[in-house]
Structure 1
């Protein structure tokens, strides 16, 4: 085929050359493509054999040319193009020319060879392309020695798989056919509707046309897949047709899909009930990918996941079981927000990810209340606030200037901050009214695109809110940062008021400006005789006040009721002392908000380590895992960056052991019959704390016993059956730290022999925990070895950052292997590259070397500029806080 295509391509070039000069006068559109050419449908015919290094295809695109032009702009990347032609509305077939104008961005000009009037045109392009090795576009992976090909198009990687208009508001139907080896399976967004022989050893599968989709949601996969039937999702009040449900996994793994398949129908029905809109994509496949760049991807009808999120057994680790449900609920929520209604442009990515995060929390709370999604919501918001406290943070609706801005938008601002802002305004207007607004939003924009203003208008109309509400909502979308609401209780003429003032929260050492104003729905809970009450006010000025009717004089006030607000609070010293004596009267979410306020005050420079230890100690006795472990983040910082002398370190060690060791001893190191997932998760968290972070001999000894048992090979493989599945990785980590090279050798030897993703994760976690310099160097080298999957690299490079010596070693290795890292991870990881190399730094020298190294490289990898700015700022803030704090405050 290629030999026949080459002369035709040359002929197309010769016939189009007369228009080349005129076409090149127009600069390449590196942002949005011009809207005077709009696609209306695609027909994609691909020939894919995962055992090969390349695939071939033909893309036929019907589009509407809306003005006179001799060319059209599209996207295509790393495509070796053969024939290119244009068919006019009157049926003429004209040769055309494919010109890669901006190869790094994948911008292509199709020259017609003559000027054409506005009309319906059909563009046909045949091409060959490599099966990508960086987990983008149509890429190749392997499992147990067998190759597979599958897709990951979001955000701008469809152009690696086929030429087209690779932007989210170009939604069209897709008609797909796959010619694949006869002994393999092919799956796609829609159900298969045909199969026919295609020559010796080949077959061609055809699939039903899709609903209108953007290019980034097109999905298909080829390989020796196991395909498991799940329960049919029966019709309900929102949907008249049943939905066929299937699970898809690498060969030999399909039997492990039954748990997630059994959970899925209830998730779908819960989402349908909330939105008042039936699942619209006909069938639903859940695919466990052997390697994947993201956690999961919401492709309609073919949702793809990292394999360990779907492949579960009766003894799977509790965190995998819980995370599996949460991620599945998140991706299925996307079938409405993202797939049915799609963002118009990437500055509104939050319309996809924030809503899916927020909705997942609702689904989880309804179907698995024991998973405490209500507390995950608070912890996610507080984690987002840490990043949002940087001056280099971005807005939720960040203007897009290039692909780097798109690729780095998949962060805590888009997911957790956006979800928290939605939850805050939902609480302000009421859940029922907010739901009415959401239903109208979905129905009004079904199978089309929407913007933030569309959503805000729908909610405001449903809730009877006006322009003040809309401006308040937009204030969180269109400016970066975290509101800092400072409060003081006053009595005046027998009435109690809470005085409020707002500014931007900035950590100690920040160079930012604090004079920002949001429309903050401030809700407080306060003490009254015999109980408590709630009061709210929309604070959209620098200062304000809330009356607290019936407040007990001298009683407690919690300035963020149920922790529903996306803001941090600072309290008058006297008020904070009163509140700290009444923590048991706060609900679990509010106790998390209190813990965050203490940590925020520490980072603000208002508290020292002694203050923190005293303020957080009461929380450690909570029966709720999330509350009991809330102090660990700030304690970890104090341990790594402030405690210097043996006495100071011993003080922290004693504090942690007193607070947490009895809890772990009561739980033990093995699962107990009928124990809750919360207990299993708490055991894992405390065991890590007391084995690695604040090591206790008895904990390490207990874990070493399990790790050594796993290392005694059974049939040539690690014997994971003898360890608590929740602790296997940690047990191996302790063994690797204590035994050194012998254990490291065995783990490296066993990694390629282990195809089970959870067991691979345990081996990787153990290797990442090794601290001995010579062995840590070997493990870093392993990250570039083909035995480690691309998606597993970061796991090996994430450890050893608590000490300056460890960070130095990672830095020097990364510099020496920089190009190999970039070549293996690809452009999508560019935004994370500076943190991978220099993250966790806490000195001016670390900041300076990072900036110096990237000075000449930052523009060579998309997204690196933002990642560099944020990593540098975080390093400088850590250094400033370290200088501010007095280690002497860590006293027995």
Structure 2
């Protein structure tokens, strides 16, 4: 960070010393945040875009408040060929400026004035051209059915690829967007189109209404032969007097598949408005199905963009896509309040966007579709985050941003799922109504501006009449990494039954971390009382404490995470575990998930052997709720993959799985049934895939192979008969067929994929190809992943399929290291940060950890953000190695 020198001092220095260069407030290129002495006030963006070409042109006009005398300003721009810069001063005087690329890897540039200008309002008009980005950043080009489209993805710092800008979330201004495009194409943007004029032969100019104040990363537009489907207007309500026009936008011939999501959207918006007490403020709402996309979806106000399979649904679409569509739509629309109306001031508070959208998405889903069990999704998501948060290399929720690579790696399970779980925990602590009051105050206080963590935590504390201890407890989860580990023990004292508590950091076996850490934990316990179960809570904010279990039965069982609200893991003594295991059926579904997670955590800590863990988890497999019934599978998959080393040991694990799950799968059958609950559809999908592909159960593989063979049979037109399989099981069926039938199946899927545009069918075929294990065929599939027939956003679906065995991981590694330049070229400067995870996950030996480190360490300078992915993947590999060494396969 460079010190800001007052303008008067600079002027005096330049005068007295008669230096030959103009003095400036900051004469070195910024790394990270731009200096605050030049602040954008508004943008006019004009683009000339033809997706059939290789580049576009633009004119960006930025009004800037120059707050200190300077001879230049710093701004962001990447791969922009600037032809002219005109500077207009406050008095109307104009002169040319010079655009200088200073740090191309970081996207930092400078505009030189030619002389020192006093503080004033300046206007910069910048003419430039740029290539369409090839890595799904900025303004990029994609194809659907061979036809090109252009669209944007600006988050986190990719607006600089589309236009010169102050590309930071703290700079929030209105935008006027104009698109000049071929006459036969469609253009859409954040706001409604307000005019269309001819722009020469074959061209037209579209002008859009001025936006609300936005950061650069929320600017959005798209150009192409888009289909537009009209949705139902979102009716006025108590918080908004005008209807919101709603549309679905998709590639040619696809928009008719958006009617389902359009029909669901009004209920989401109304639910969000009712919660926040604040009407949707962005005028219109378009949902766009992107033919290729780097993210799952993006919350651009007025023009929300999605991976196409999330929006393009048919009556027979896989149930997981139907649920996923609603959940992701709810997430992105929740952002219209937390992220768009109120925006984070800097990327270290990304959780203010993503954690709150994740938390709110779950509330919306529980309100509109309670059968989707978003309450259990929240718990499962938190438990997945705990796997990462158990690493010493884990991020904090509020991780300081030290470079551009840190921004991209902030979009992870810590920010999303851990953040949402922490929010839900403190919501439970103060009460839902009080928490809502605090959220409404926060939105009103910062609407159309920026906010920091203290603003939000302070608003909740004020609403709840909480003091410094509340802020400290909340911040203890934001500002330190790790999972709290609460050890509990029942004892009788002075005629009372007490629960002794101690907290530390949860560390798996083999971890080098320091367990000595304290949080402010809203800790709640459910226990057996004299007449039914009871719940008692405390704020555990010191290393040890105790609580009295009023009216507890003499032999009370204890569940140390009531309602699974807490973001922590727990342990009991042996008697406590035995007692709780006998009463699993008395727990809520959420508590049963927390029970499963803490069993798994104890196993990974070395406190349980495989046989003990399998015994403790067995009662869950008979629970009617699907999410609970499948919870033991992750632990069993680890035991099968890493601990069972002989055929007899693997057979023992498979027998456990067959006894636990095969009768249930057989009862469900392998085809959809009219009117069956969606939970049954999802359970069938999960069980069939796991039993066939992970545990190789012969009966299940035979059933899926029959469907896979039917799907691979060619129709009269020479195309595959993919509709012959249950759409929910198509991916798993094709995977089994590809494994069993070998090259003919692989060749057929590769040929069909190049002719298929339907995203759900493409995903199923990609899944099938990804599970091929034969070395030569696996390499053929990976080579195909680099071809133009596989979209950039689809490539990882193939490459992440080789993690099951040492043999397949070695094959993936050899292929990857031979094709590293090609993979890097496709993934781009930010997505490439996940490469260590992509090719190193699943490792479980010191040799794998060492080769990963040796290969990537000298390449970290080329791939922003990969250092964290490398550290975490290597640590996971070593932890797996330590646990494998500790376990005794004879005790399975």
TM-score range, shorter chain: over 0.9
8 Å contact kept, 1:23–1:111: no
Identify the residue that residue 305 of structure 1 maps to in structure 2: 306
Alpha-carbon separation, structure 1, partners of 2:731 and 2:327: 22
Does structure 2 conserve the Cα–Cα contact (< 8 Å) formed by 1:189 and 1:210? Answer: yes
Tell me how far apart the structure 2 counterparts of residues 369 and 255 of structure 1 sit (CA, whole Å).
27
Counterpart check, 1:395 vs 2:389 = no
SS in 2 for 1:605: coil
Alpha-carbon deviations, 1:372-412, whole Å to 9, x = none? 00100000000000000000001000000010000110000
Rounded Cα–Cα distance in structure 2 between residues aligned with 1:347 and 1:264: 31
Q: Distance in 1 between matches of 2:828 and 2:414?
A: 23
1:285 positional shift: 0.2
Q: Contact between 1:859 and 1:865, CA under 8 Å: does it hold in 2?
A: no
* Partner SS state of residue 74, structure 1: strand
- What are the within-5 Å matches in structure 2 for residues 222-621 of structure 1? 222-621=223-622
Any idea what SS the aligned residue of 1:81 has? strand
Aligned to 2:142, what secondary structure does the other structure show? Answer: strand
Residue deviations 1:261-315 (CA, integer Å, cap 9, x gap): 0000000000000000000000000000000000000000000000000000011
- Report the 3-state secondary structure (helix = DSSP H, G, I; strand = E; otherwise coil) of the residue aligned with 1:674: coil
What residue is the counterpart of 2:5 in the other structure? Answer: none
Number of residues of Structure 1 aligned to a counterpart in Structure 2: 873
For 1:526 and 1:699, locate their aligned partners in 2 and report how far apart those are by CA, in whole Å: 40
Change (3 A) 1:452 1:20: same
Whether the aligned pair in 1 keeps the contact of 2:735 and 2:768 (CA below 8 Å) is yes
Q: Distance in 1 between matches of 2:808 and 2:590?
A: 36
CA distance in 1, matches of 2:648, 2:665: 25
Consecutive unaligned residues in structure 2, runs of 5 or more = 1-18
C-alpha displacement of 1:509:
0.2
Q: In 2, distance between residues paired with 1:476 and 1:809?
A: 40
Quick one: distance in 1 between partners of 2:261 and 2:60?
Answer: 35
Aligned to 1:839: 841
**Contact 2:844–2:881 at 8 Å: present in 1 too?**
yes
- Residue 3 of structure 1 corresponds to which residue in structure 2? none
Structure 2 counterparts to residues 793-808 of structure 1, below 5 A = 793-808=795-810
CA–CA separation in structure 2 for the residues paired with 1:20 and 1:259: 63
Query: Which residue in the other structure is 2:190 paired with?
Result: 189
Partner of 1:35: 36
CA distance in structure 1 between the aligned counterparts of 2:874 and 2:614, rounded to whole angstroms: 29
Structure 1 position 780 matched with structure 2 position 782: yes
The answer to whether the 8 A contact 1:711-1:719 is kept is yes
Give the match for residue 16 of structure 2. none
Q: Is 1:884 aligned to 2:886, yes or no?
A: yes
Give 1:15's aligned residue: none
Q: Quote the residue 1:178 is aligned against.
A: 179
Q: Secondary structure at the match of 2:858?
A: coil
CA distance in 2, matches of 1:236, 1:169: 32
What is the 5 A alignment of 1:681-760? 681-714=682-715, 715-760=717-762
Task: Provide the C-alpha distance between the structure 1 equivalents of 2:766 and 2:832, rounded to a whole number of angstroms.
Answer: 22
Measure how far apart 1:26 and its partner are.
1.8
Matched residue SS, 1:855:
helix
Counterpart CA distance in 1 for 2:72 and 2:482 is 43
Q: Distance in 2 between matches of 1:716 and 1:197?
A: 45
| Aligned counterparts of 1:30 and 1:513: Cα–Cα separation in 2 | 32
Shift of residue 734 of structure 1?
Answer: 1.1
Whether the aligned pair in 2 keeps the contact of 1:19 and 1:70 (CA below 8 Å) is: no
Partner secondary structure for residue 336 of structure 1:
coil
Deviations 1:136-156 (A, max 9, x none): 000000001110000000000
Deviation at 1:24, TM superposition (A): 11
Distance 2:220 2:147 in 1: 21
Deviation at 1:805, TM superposition (A): 1.1
Distance 2:752 2:285 in 1: 36
SS at match of 2:861: coil
Aligned equivalents of 2:699 and 2:662: distance in 1? Answer: 10
SS at match of 1:826: helix
Q: Distance in 2 between matches of 1:701 and 1:843?
A: 33
Aligned partner of residue 644 in structure 1, secondary structure: coil
Deviation at 1:22, TM superposition (A): 5.9
What residue number does 2:12 align with?
none
SS of 1:856's partner is helix
Distance 1:473 1:117 in 2: 45
How far apart, in 1, do the equivalents of 2:28 and 2:635 lie?
A: 51
2:642 aligned partner: 641
CA deviation after TM superposition for structure 1 residue 20, in Å: 7.3
**CA deviation string 1:315-337 (max 9, x = no partner):** 11000000000000000000000
Residues 731-755 of structure 1, C-alpha deviations (whole Å, 9 max, x = no match): 1111111110001010001111000
Alignment match, 1:93: 94
Q: How big is the shift at 1:721? A: 2.1
Structure 1: distance between partners of 2:21 and 2:350: 36
Q: Does the residue aligned with 1:439 lie in a helix, a strand or coil? A: helix
SS at match of 1:857: helix
Distance in structure 1 (CA, Å) of the matches to 2:540 and 2:768: 49
Q: CA deviation at 1:21?
A: 8.1
Partner of residue 13, structure 1: none
**Counterpart Cα distance in 2 of 1:791 and 1:817:** 18
- In structure 2, the residue matched to 1:45 is 46
Structure 1 unaligned runs (5+)? 1-17
Partner of 1:8: none
Question: Bigger shift: 183-192 or 838-847?
Answer: 838-847
Is 1:110 the counterpart of 2:107 in the alignment? no
**Structure 1 SS opposite 2:859:** coil
Tell me, yes or no, if the aligned pair for 1:19 and 1:113 is still in contact at 8 Å: no
1:554: how far off? 1.3
- The 2-side partners of 1:337 and 1:400 are apart by 20
Q: Return the offset for 1:497.
A: 1.1
2:25–2:70 contact (8 Å) kept in structure 1 = no
Match of 2:4 in 1: none
Secondary structure at the counterpart of residue 371 of structure 2: helix
Determine helix, strand or coil for the equivalent of 1:194: strand
Distance in 2 (CA, whole Å) between partners of 1:694 and 1:660 is: 12
8 Å CA contact 1:250, 1:288 repeated in 2: yes
Q: CA RMSD in A?
A: 1.1
Q: How does 1:34-73 map to 2 (within 5 A)?
A: 34-73=35-74
Give the distance between the partners of 1:472 and 1:738, measured in 2 at CA: 55
Shift in CA distance, 158/226, structure 1 to aligned 2, threshold 3 Å: same
